[in-house]
Chains A and B, each alone.
Chain A
Amino acid sequence: MFKLMKYEFRKTQATKLILLAIIAIAEIAFLIGLYGNYDMTAGLSIVALVFLSFLGVFVVGLESITILHRDMNTRQSYMLFMTPNSSYKILGAKVLECGLSILLAGAFVFALGALDITLAVAREQGLNSLWEMIQNFLSHITINGRQLEIDAPILAATFLNILTSWIMTIVSAYLAVVISAALLNGKKFNGLISFVLFLLLNWGAAKLLGLIPDTMSSVATLLVYVAVELVLSAIMYVVTAEIMERKLSV
């Protein structure tokens, strides 16, 4: 599995390096703005960094789906399916590599953000006043009549939920791609059908998640979301791998 993951990473290496380079440029711009007192530059680079963090996670997932599509529909598929690896391993390596990349990208952006805030605070006012400012800002936000509470467990659960929900979306896209390649290959409107299927899977998952009662604490609710998303991802993973194992011709 590790060897398969190594090559999955190698396939996406170029895109990740480009993203890293762009983030590095934005970070340098931020530091120049901060220490050179160019407020506009610092502000714009923060906006760029926030945008890039979302874009990065989105691009990693999207590229993973594109690569799976290529691995199913071009001769490069032989590189995978000629090796003595089951479809479960091949697909598992893709899911794990993608999940790990998103996790690492998230952790990296989070660490970078924390570093930038610390630097900004150290230079401008001091950490305490910034934290007070954030708390003050959050105290004015309410959701469903409840005041928003932000603390470390909520932040961690939210991050985990974003990760698992994005992985679920990617696995559902994998399922749609594999159905398209294995069951609908050569049929009319193949691409359209698989895209509609992807939308339906995500609609169904959203409906299911909507059934979770909002009577628990925020952290508990988020963790239930995470658990349901993981179970749904696992089901779709097994279905996808079984279709590959039994029906896929490359």
Chain B
Amino acid sequence: MLESRELTKSFGSVVAVDHVSLKLEAGHVYAMLGPNGSGKTTWMKMAAGLIKPTSGQILYEERPVGVESRRHIAYMSTEPYFYNWMTIRDVGRYYEDFFEDFSMERYKELIGRMELREDMKTRTLSSGMMAKLKIAVTLARDAKVYMLDEPFNGIDLLARDEIRTCILQFASEDKILLLSSHLVEEMEAVADRAIFIKQGHLEEIVDLETMRTEYGISMADRYRQIYGHEEVTSNV
């Protein structure tokens, strides 16, 4: 289980994440939703151990995230982060060197499905190709937690379908998948739970099936309710 307790992160006078307490359980695909600057990326980076919280805690299996949790948490940042001297093959070797759960075979398969070539230099990749590479290398790990920050950004429709298929293949009872995106409709097809974040605060975590059957609204409708659009008036 991945859990944050009263987690807060400030950058100077700006509070990016404000006392957020939530629990993510295995066997679910979570959509983390919120407008730009709502704190989604900061929360994920704290869970990945890249950013230190100002206060509060973030725990993986009841222990603070750190070196050990990085063995089990696969994080895909929204920004490109590979060394610019690397080819796509080098990226795979790097992950193979550092992550025991990385499968080179699976990586090669995903690279092929994403229509990338191993000899391509990462510095020459278009933004769409880079996004595909990040997804391929992250999903080639057999991690317990996957956190994909904006996985559909800069990717064409067909590739999005491919990525959605890959993500769903990885959903299983012992894994947590956490995805953030502005493309709410895309997320609706993948996620079974939604986390709404607004200005650094946790608004709510909802079970999408319950929301649909009991309240008759979709994730997109709820998004509009929370973030200020008035198309839907029903309450959850």
Query: Which of A's residues lie within 8 Å of B, judged by CB?
Result: 3, 6-7, 10-11, 14, 75-79, 81-86, 186, 246-250
Q: How far is the CB of A192 from chain B (nearest CB, A)?
A: 19
Other-chain residue from B70, B75, B97 in contact with A3 (beta carbon distance below 8 A): B97
List the B side residues contacting A7 at CB < 8 Å: 83, 94, 97
The CA-CA distance from A6 to B83 in the complex, in Å, is: 14
Chain A residue with Cβ nearest B9: A249
Determine, out of B46-54, B55-63, B214-222, B228-236, the stretch whose residues face the partner at the interface.
Answer: B46-54
A79–B82 CB distance below 8 A: yes
Q: Which 3 A-B pairs have the closest CB atoms?
A: A78-B81, A83-B98, A249-B51
Q: How far is the CB of B141 from chain A (nearest CB, A)?
A: 11
Chain B residue with Cβ nearest A88: B67
Other-chain residue from B49, B82, B85, B94 in contact with A81 (beta carbon distance below 8 A): B49
List the B side residues contacting A247 at CB < 8 Å: 52
**B79 located at the interface, meaning its Cβ lies under 8 Å from any Cβ of chain A in the complex:** yes
Other-chain residue from B70, B79, B85 in contact with A84 (beta carbon distance below 8 A): B70
B94–A186 CB distance below 8 A: no
Query: Which of B's residues lie within 8 Å of A, judged by CB?
Result: 11-12, 45, 48-52, 67-68, 70-71, 75, 77, 79-83, 85, 94, 97-99
The CA-CA distance from A77 to B51 in the complex, in Å, is: 11
In the complex with contacts A247-B52, A248-B52, A250-B51, A79-B81 CB distance below 8 A: yes
Chain B residue with Cβ nearest A247: B52
B68–A84 CB distance below 8 A: yes
A82–B82 CB distance below 8 A: no
B50–A249 CB distance below 8 A: yes
Other-chain residue from B52, B67, B77 in contact with A78 (beta carbon distance below 8 A): B77
A85–B98 CB distance below 8 A: yes
- Residue of A11, A75, A248 ringed by the most chain B CB atoms within 10 A: A75
Other-chain residue from A10, A84, A246, A249 in contact with B98 (beta carbon distance below 8 A): A84
B67–A75 CB distance below 8 A: no
List the B side residues contacting A250 at CB < 8 Å: 50-51
List the A side residues contacting B68 at CB < 8 Å: 84
List the A side residues contacting B99 at CB < 8 Å: 83-84
List the B side residues contacting A84 at CB < 8 Å: 67-68, 70-71, 98-99
Known: A7-B94, A85-B67, A85-B98. 6 other contacts (CB 8 A): A3-B98, A75-B77, A77-B50, A79-B94, A84-B67, A250-B51
- Residue of B48, B50, B77 ringed by the most chain A CB atoms within 10 A: B50
B51–A82 CB distance below 8 A: no
In the complex with contacts A75-B77, A79-B94, A249-B52, A11-B67 CB distance below 8 A: no
